[in-house]
Structure 1
């Protein structure tokens, strides 16, 4: 409600002036902070060239201060710096010809690079998880774990994540389950949860065969479900 100046006391006028000054100072502070946040939110775009790379996935290596990018056309992984410098990080010619590097993930604590390897038709079926030691001079391969799926004709190993124990988890986009690979390279099936196929998919759509794709490991555990006390609810409603 607006109060005319003539009806206000000196103390009320002083309070009004002080409130106005406080509001102006608060507004100016908010404006400065907002400008700083706006300027700080500008993105840094890296434009780089690499012939026939066709990147499928990437990960960030904070120790080396560069990105690691997989190739959909070559058996290589390249590094990309913030200055757009591209270098071949790993070239594994022992992999089957024309295989692709799909998902990549970096285990910072163990300095291991995990890479999902897959071959597309008409090449023979091949799915595996490769691990490379980034601390070794030539980034030697630690293991190559083959990933099999007897339930489908053409499984697709796609993305990979890892936990603090060093176990890796790889998605199967056709079989809709998750493989688990131990730090020693021993594969097994981790989960065939019905939740992976609970949503209906129109099979007439392109790429409808592709189910599970990306995967992320989270340390947070979901709280246990509390049992519903039906009797207590009924009694409270009757009261």
Structure 2
């Protein structure tokens, strides 16, 4: 019996060592593209967006809050092995304790950052906050849902030309519209947002961006559906399913609009570059990116004309090392 138990323990050790060894090999492998590594106090970092005016990445914390990674010009292009950025906390609101910070969007014309805030465990609270990019004073906090409103998850946020914010609900499959002053204006719903299969709705609407032609593009994570939401018609929003060919967008997370015709989808196990030539009635997956799949890609941003993907998981102890990786797409 003792011999059998010892053999079982040895077997369990060996099979557990295989994925650990694989993860270590992925982590120590030399990256094929440029990487910004940074040390953080937390294991999980949801979203990173480049703030070009202040030369920094702004990063959201799954445990709540926002930090920055300053990138001096003299560090650009340096070997990732020789440069590790340091995360500096900027925002930690006591009244939001217990909630996480998720999607970010820099609203440059109004010098502010918009942050989607959610209760990641119980799905009983959702909000969007705006912060001044210079002083980090909170400009407003808009409560979107509470315990009596059913489950919700404020996943991501986009901003239009007038400063209205649009927050995607990953549990309720709806979009909250919030005015430039923080007033909740309306809720955008559609039967198209909820696929018939129950398992497709475990994680619903997620990454969202505003298109300069007056509509939103939003991805549904577990179905891979991509939607076009026309907001130029006032209260009469029209929702359409964008027909995507050339590849799947299942597990799509953060979005970044590169141009009126090109969209980056951060997803696992690889990112996607999507193009449309008809105003996003249809679209094609034209390129893919295979990145560090063990870290889980959650967001995309553009720095100096280059696309970077940010990843959820940090590695190491006591300092957690995170990565923001340049995305080079291959057809």
- 2:269 corresponds to which residue? none
CA distance in 2, matches of 1:105, 1:95: 22
Listed as ranges, the matches of 1:66-85 within 5 Å are 66-73=56-63, 75-82=64-71, 84-85=84-85
CA distance in 2, matches of 1:106, 1:125: 26
- The 3 A distance-change label for structure 1 pair 221 and 171 is closer
- 1:200 corresponds to which residue? 196
- Determine if the alignment matches structure 1 residue 121 to structure 2 residue 110: no
The counterpart of 2:143, out of the listed 142, 146, 155, is 146
- 1:90 corresponds to which residue? 90
- 1:45 corresponds to which residue? 35
Q: CA deviation at 1:220?
A: 2.4
Whether contact under 8 Å (2:37, 2:85) holds in the other structure is no
Higher relative contact order (CA 8 A, sep 6+): 2
- 1:212 corresponds to which residue? 205
Whether contact under 8 Å (1:76, 1:88) holds in the other structure is no
Name stretches of at least 5 consecutive residues in structure 1 with no aligned partner.
1-41, 224-239
- The 3 A distance-change label for structure 1 pair 49 and 212 is same
CA distance in 1, matches of 2:176, 2:148: 14
SS in 1 for 2:38: coil
Give the TM-score normalised by the residue count of structure 2.
Answer: 0.48
Give the TM-score normalised by the residue count of structure 1.
Answer: 0.65
Whether contact under 8 Å (2:126, 2:144) holds in the other structure is yes
C-alpha distance after superposition, 1:4-36 (max 9, x if no partner): xxxxxxxxxxxxxxxxxxxxxxxxxxxxxxxxx
Whether contact under 8 Å (1:152, 1:175) holds in the other structure is no
CA distance in 2, matches of 1:195, 1:62: 36
More helix by share: 1
- The 3 A distance-change label for structure 1 pair 109 and 156 is same
- 1:133 corresponds to which residue? 132
C-alpha distance after superposition, 1:47-105 (max 9, x if no partner): 111021411112110001111110112x3211123454324342233333221101111
Name stretches of at least 5 consecutive residues in structure 2 with no aligned partner.
1-31, 72-82, 216-229, 231-331
More strand by share: 2
